[in-house]
């Protein structure tokens, strides 16, 4: 089964061809990062416009790279939420037009299910049930993956997402957008124990997260240093902040997996490429006898291959979207 997948939920215009849910024949990503860097974050209007300009060519490239034509494709998969409504609409309209014109089935995919499904690409042995730590730009979830296409949210963030906290702190310490990879890099030269930032817990909710506190603590620290006219050591701030976030993510993920009797954890989303998170998860999972999975960096951040994988499992389970498929900006996991 060949799926042509389209992803346009944020600032990546992406298309991919995936065979039988596990083999990526092509994965084309046109990033708009340089366009949005100017504004310090994604500008929705610009994102939509660029998706429109680029989407046809990205799809053509995905077909060409995979040595396939539209005739070979069995179904069209597309992200329909969550994300920026104007950005999502471009992919959804394109997918509907293609599916209608080519007379192929249409499969709407949840973006976060795609992030989780990215783990299936390189880990052929990974199969549900397993536990997942989803850490992306807009989401921080602990998820029980009960079966393909069947999810239960065990915990989530009460305020900022992990990636969002990375991006905001990076901006505050002058590293610019997108902040996650920059903090990751500069933290390597800093001392993670230099500054004690809080590890927030949510009362009576052992699986939930809160990252607005640690973000404010960093901002307060910077203000105080400036008032005292003392130096701000960016690598130390980055390393200490990163350690505070990673400590909480690792602790919660391991606790959740154990409490729900899971023997493997799959990390997903853009922050899954963070090197400290990977190292600390490895250490903790080895200690706990837990199997650990995470995708290569290119499959952690937004891409269409992961959407093709998720679409495949929907497709073989007989799920189809109608011509009324619409963009759903705040679509919840497990919702259809
Ligand atoms: P969502 O998937 O929740 O809709 P998104 O699609 O914008 O949001 P992703 O593409 O999954 O998010 O991930 C982007 C996020 O990952 C950004 O916040 C970015 O800073 C963060 N990120 C990327 N690489 C790293 C890294 N090495 N360390 C920490 N954060 C990172
Ligand atoms: Mg992006
Ligand atoms: Fe994403």
Question: Binding site membership: which residues?
Answer: 111, 115, 134-138, 167, 180, 184, 274, 302
- CB of 160 closer than 6 A to ligand 1? no
Mutate to test the pocket of ligand 1, among 11, 42, 116, 137 (most ligand atoms within 8 A of CB): 137
Contact 315, 105 (CB under 8 A): yes
- CB of 273 closer than 6 A to ligand 1? yes
For residue 234, pLDDT over 90 is answered with: yes
Give pLDDT, residue 44: 95
Q: Encode pLDDT of 71-110 as tens digits.
A: 999 999 999 999 999 999 999 999 999 999 999 999 999 9
From the CA of 163, give the closest atom in ligand 1. Answer: 18
Average pLDDT, the chain: 97
For residue 336, pLDDT over 80 is answered with: no
For residue 328, pLDDT over 80 is answered with: yes
**Residue-wise over 89-121: b if at least 16 C-beta within 10 A, else e?**
bbbbbbbbebbeeeebbbbbbbbbbbbbbbbbb
Mean pLDDT of 155-177: 95
Mutate to test the pocket of ligand 1, among 83, 140, 163 (most ligand atoms within 8 A of CB): 163
For residue 237, pLDDT over 80 is answered with: yes
Least confident of 117-126, 197-206, 269-278: 197-206
Confidence class of residue 40 from pLDDT cuts 50, 70 and 90? confident
Give pLDDT, residue 38: 84
Mean pLDDT of 126-141: 98
Strands 264-268 and 291-293: parallel
Predicted complex ipTM: 0.98
Phi then psi for 301, rounded to 5 degrees?
-80, 175
């Amino acid at each position: 089964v060949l799926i042509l997948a389209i992803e346009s939920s944020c600032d990546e215009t992406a298309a991919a061809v995936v065979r039988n849910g596990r083999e990526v024949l092509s994965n084309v990503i046109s990033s708009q990062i340089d366009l949005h860097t100017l504004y310090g974050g994604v500008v929705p209007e610009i994102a939509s416009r660029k998706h429109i300009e680029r989407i046809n060519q990205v799809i053509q490239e995905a077909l060409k790279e995979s040595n396939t034509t539209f005739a070979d494709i069995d179904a069209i998969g597309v992200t329909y939420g969550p994300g920026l409504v104007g950005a999502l609409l471009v992919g959804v309209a394109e997918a509907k037009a293609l599916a209608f014109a080519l007379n192929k089935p249409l499969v709407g995919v949840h973006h976060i299910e795609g992030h989780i499904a990215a783990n299936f690409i390189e880990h052929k042995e990974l199969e549900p049930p397993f536990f997942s730590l989803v850490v992306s730009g807009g989401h921080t979830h602990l998820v029980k993956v009960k079966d393909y296409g069947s999810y239960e949210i065990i915990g989530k963030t009460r305020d900022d997402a992990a990636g969002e906290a990375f991006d905001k702190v990076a901006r505050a310490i002058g590293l610019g957008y997108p902040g996650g990879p920059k903090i990751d890099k500069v933290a390597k030269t800093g001392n993670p124990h230099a500054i004690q930032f809080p590890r927030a817990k949510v009362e009576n909710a052992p699986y939930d997260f809160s990252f607005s506190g640690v973000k404010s603590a960093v901002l307060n620290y910077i203000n105080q240093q400036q008032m005292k006219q003392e130096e701000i050591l960016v690598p130390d701030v980055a390393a200490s902040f990163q350690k505070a976030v990673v400590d909480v993510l690792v602790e919660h993920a391991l606790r959740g997996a154990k409490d729900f009797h899971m023997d493997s954890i799959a990390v997903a989303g853009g922050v899954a490429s963070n090197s400290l998170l990977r190292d600390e998860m490895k250490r903790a999972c080895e200690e706990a006898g837990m199997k650990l999975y995470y995708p290569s960096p290119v499959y952690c951040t937004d891409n269409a291959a992961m959407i093709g994988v998720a679409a495949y499992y929907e497709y073989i389970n007989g799920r189809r979207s109608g011509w009324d498929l619409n963009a759903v900006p705040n679509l919840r996991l497990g919702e259809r």
